[in-house]
Amino acid sequence: MKFGGSSVADAERIRRVAEIVKGNLGRKPVLVLSAMGDTTDHLLEAAEKALKGRTVSINRIEELHLKTIRDLKIDAAAYEIRPLLEELRSLLMGICLIRELTGKTRDYLVSFGERLSVRLATAYFQSLGQKARAVDAWDAGFVSDSNFTMADLDPVSWETIPAAILPLIEEGVLPVVTGFIAKDKTGNITTLGRGGSDLSATMIASACKADEVQVWKDVDGILTADPRIVKNARPVEAVTYEEATELAFFGSQVLHPRAMQPCMKTNTPVLVKNSYNVNAPGTRIVSALTRKALPVQTITFRQDVTLVDIVSSRMLGQYGFLAEVFSVFARHGISVDMVATSEVSISLTLDAAHNLDAVKKELEKIASVEIRAGKAIVTIIGDVRRSSEILHRSFGVCTDLGVQVQMISQGASKVNISFIVNDTQAVKIVRGLHENFFGAAEAKI
Ligand code: ASP
Ligand code: MG
């Protein structure tokens, strides 16, 4: 059972978690917790300030944790919470003095969020008479590579995790494990990328052969669209691992992009639930769907995308041209998202965050290149066996809205149809598509 930051944001939320867990104790759960509320962001902000040589302050973080401890009437002294806060303060002081923040230090720094939250929640569970134990990821068998801020789990974790966790379960202990973090083989603290607690949870569940993973969020599951944009967005009953993965990549923050990988190996089902609305059925994520009534499951989009158009007559009948183009991106460490090719051109998309001058110069040696920022990828996740219907209806919507589609790609994953439009048009299109595939807002009220 994984509870995200907003599910453990304060004393009230942690009490709720305890109730939810209590109802599931018979199933011998393992808990995975994120940092409380926005603590990870606050830690990063504190580091930025320290880096600029401004004051070292952990007031916001300290107040949140100490207030929660008071509200829950637990004893902070017994659970290493104050020493951890002291260590955090010293670390920030170090950053302030050295004026340097490497990936390695950054991971060490943000690890405090999860280490604090599991200790605090465990102290509360114990005060309720539960045999709970706070377990740092490295004591739960999480071994990663040394790719700081975005580490991958080492395959040995498939053995070390059950070896650490299963004996606790045998003893009747409720393990409360830090999400998001791990240690590399030399003992440095690493993180699995933002939102990484999902991966921590699915990894424990898969490696320990659990019946299911419950991911507790602050929304009713995976929705047909972002509810901030589409008012009548509603939860989807079930999606496949592939669909959930595509969603994570294309703008929806529901799950960590790599979270489905362990489950795909073991077919462990995932249930996304809302800790603010326990009675909502949530969304199941499974290996295959038994029934698929609608052609489309969900519509999502990502803004701030850059479109690169590469045209060369050298491509005609040639081999190796694509390899040459992609090797330029590889050398600059830039990951390409969508690709479409014709006989003489390649269009591809990138996140906007890159400085592309050098790339453009290199590519211009072999082709003419046009780079256009300010684009958005609109992605339709659905049953691509019905792609003609989906495309027909989607382009109908674009035509009605007077929007020109600038690139289109139908993923080989067979669940994703994406197209590029101008950033400013994305919201309008998502609303139009949602209305077409799921019905008008008025009809639901
Ligand atoms: N606390 C980390 C974050 O905010 C990890 C997580 O919540 O999954 O990204
Ligand atoms: Mg979080």
User: Could you report the per-residue pLDDT of 356-391, keeping only the tens digit for each?
Assistant: 899 999 999 989 999 999 999 999 998 878 889 999
**Direct distance between the N- and C-terminal alpha carbons of the chain, in angstroms, rounded to an integer:** 34
Q: pLDDT-based confidence at 307, cuts 50/70/90? A: very high
For residue 444, the model assigns a pLDDT of 41
Looking up tokens 């059950």 gives 162
pLDDT at 401: 96
Distances (CA, A) of 116 to 38, 48, 79, 112, 276: 13, 21, 9, 6, 22
Structural contact between residues 146 and 136, judged by C-beta atoms closer than 8 angstroms: no
Check if 191 has its Cβ closer than 6 Å to any atom of ligand 1: no
Q: Partners of 31 in the beta sheet?
A: 176
Cα dihedral sign, 320-325-326-331 = positive
Helix, strand, coil: what percent of the chain each, to 5?
45, 20, 35
Report the half-sphere exposure of 207 (CA within 13 A, side-chain side).
25
Distance CA 289, CA 218 (A): 25
32 forms beta bridges with: 2, 177
Distance 253 CA to ligand 2 centre (A): 11
Task: State mean pLDDT over 168-178.
Answer: 97
Q: What ligand is nearest to the CA atom of residue 9? A: 2
The secondary structure of residue 424, as a DSSP letter, is: G
Residue 414: its pLDDT value, please? Answer: 73
Question: At 355, is the pLDDT very low, low, confident or very high (cuts 50, 70, 90)?
Answer: confident
Neighbour count for residue 41 (Cβ, 10 Å): 14
104 CB near ligand 1 (under 6 Å): no
pTM across the whole model: 0.86
Tokens of 332: 């600059």
Q: Is the pLDDT of residue 445 over 50?
A: no
Phi–psi pair at 378, nearest 5 degrees: -100, 130
Tens of pLDDT along 82-110?
899 999 999 999 999 999 999 999 999 99
Residue 5 CA to ligand 1 center (angstroms) comes to 7
Q: Using 50, 70 and 90 to split pLDDT, how confident is the model at 219?
A: confident
Alpha carbon nearest to ligand 1 atom 5, residue: 195
Which residues lie near ion ligand 2 (Cβ < 5 Å)?
A: 5, 34
* Token reading at 44: 């990063």
59: Cβ–Cβ under 8 A, 6 or more apart, which residues? none
Question: Tokens at residue 28, please?
Answer: 């011998």
Ligand with an atom nearest the CA of residue 181: 1
